[in-house]
């Protein structure tokens, strides 16, 4: 289940250095299309994001500009749920990394370099997949030594000096998501 976070009307997450001080640069703007009369804007190239929608409402011969804000994928801007814009932050759900790979198993031979690509994950929002937190695992206890390096694209490589079973944990990460643990079991044989 994703956790709640607060963002301002430009999509800045509470706690970042520039939160609620000034708007960042606009990334996209769509002028009214197909007769709906709305203009859509976003300020961050990440999804989900704050989307501002502007339109003119005429009532009693008087035109009023109405500005609203939603938090969703920018591709869903026409169907997103909007609320009146104000100075208060929105409480929204953080992005969620979906990982269904379970424990990943790797086989290796002692004193031999190995390389394998790990199973990644997807995002609850957005199209950019999460990356692996680049990590280096090193263990040296006299007779037992191993090193495993995980790159951001999920390639794990390493070398083990002794046979045995090694358990390590990698993490899938994304800018607005809680990291997700990826358990890895490496079985090292003598030959």
Long-range CB pairs of 159-164 (<8 Å, 24+ gap) are 159/111, 159/112, 159/113, 159/114, 160/108, 160/110, 160/111, 160/186, 160/188, 161/110, 161/111, 162/110, 162/188, 163/110, 163/188, 163/189, 163/190, 164/188
Q: Give Cα 42 to chain centroid, integer Å.
A: 17
Report the pLDDT value the prediction gives residue 155, as an integer from 0 to 100.
96
Do 125 and 78 belong together in one domain? no
Do 107 and 40 belong together in one domain? no
**What is the CATH number for 183?**
2.60.40
What is the per-residue pLDDT across 149-191, written as a single tens digit (0 to 9) for each? Answer: 999 999 999 999 999 999 999 999 987 677 899 999 999 999 9
**Both tokens of residue 176?**
């607005």
Least Cα distance to 38 among 46, 47, 29 occurs for 29
Do 185 and 154 belong together in one domain? yes
Report the pLDDT value the prediction gives residue 117, as an integer from 0 to 100.
96
Higher pLDDT, 5 or 129: 129
In the DSSP assignment, the letter for residue 134 is P
Contact by Cβ (8 Å): 126, 95: yes
Q: Which residue has the tokens 């008087």?
A: 62
Residue 7 has pLDDT above 80, yes or no: no
Do 35 and 23 belong together in one domain? yes
pTM for this prediction: 0.59
What is the per-residue pLDDT across 108-146, written as a single tens digit (0 to 9) for each? Answer: 999 999 999 999 999 876 667 899 998 888 877 777 778
Report the pLDDT value the prediction gives residue 32, as an integer from 0 to 100.
63
Rg (the chain; Cα; Å):
24
Domain boundary among 61, 93, 125: 93
**E strand or H helix at 180, and its extent?**
strand 180-189
Give me the sign of the Cα torsion angle 25, 18, 82, 86.
Answer: negative
Domain boundary among 93, 109, 128: 93
Higher pLDDT, 172 or 69: 172
Lowest mean pLDDT among 1-15, 36-50, 64-78, 167-181: 1-15
Domain boundary among 93, 110, 131: 93
* Residue 136 domain boundaries: 97-189
Sheet holding 114-117, edge to edge: 114-117, 155-160, 145-150, 135-140
Domain total for the chain? Answer: 2
Report the pLDDT value the prediction gives residue 3, as an integer from 0 to 100.
61
For the segment 56-81, the average pLDDT, to the nearest whole number, is 85
Residue 2 has pLDDT above 60, yes or no: no
């Amino acid at each position: 289940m994703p956790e709640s976070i607060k963002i301002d009307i430009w999509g800045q997450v509470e706690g970042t250095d520039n939160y609620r001080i000034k708007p960042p640069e606009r990334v996209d703007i769509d002028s009214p299309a197909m007769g709906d009369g709305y203009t859509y804007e976003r300020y961050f190239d990440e999804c989900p994001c704050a989307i501002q929608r502007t339109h003119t409402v005429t009532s009693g011969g008087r035109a009023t500009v109405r500005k609203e804000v939603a938090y969703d994928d920018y591709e869903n801007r026409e169907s997103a749920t909007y609320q009146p814009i104000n100075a208060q932050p929105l409480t929204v759900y953080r992005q969620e990394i979906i990982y269904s790979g379970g424990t990943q198993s790797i086989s290796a031979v002692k004193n031999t370099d190995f390389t394998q690509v790990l199973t990644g994950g997807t995002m609850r929002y957005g199209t950019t997949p999460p990356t692996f937190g680049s990590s280096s695992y090193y263990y040296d206890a006299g007779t037992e030594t191993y090193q495993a390096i995980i790159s951001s694209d999920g390639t794990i490589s390493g070398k083990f000096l002794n046979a045995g079973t090694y358990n390590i944990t990698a993490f899938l990460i994304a800018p607005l998501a809680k990291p997700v643990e990826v358990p890895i079991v490496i079985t090292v044989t003598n030959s």
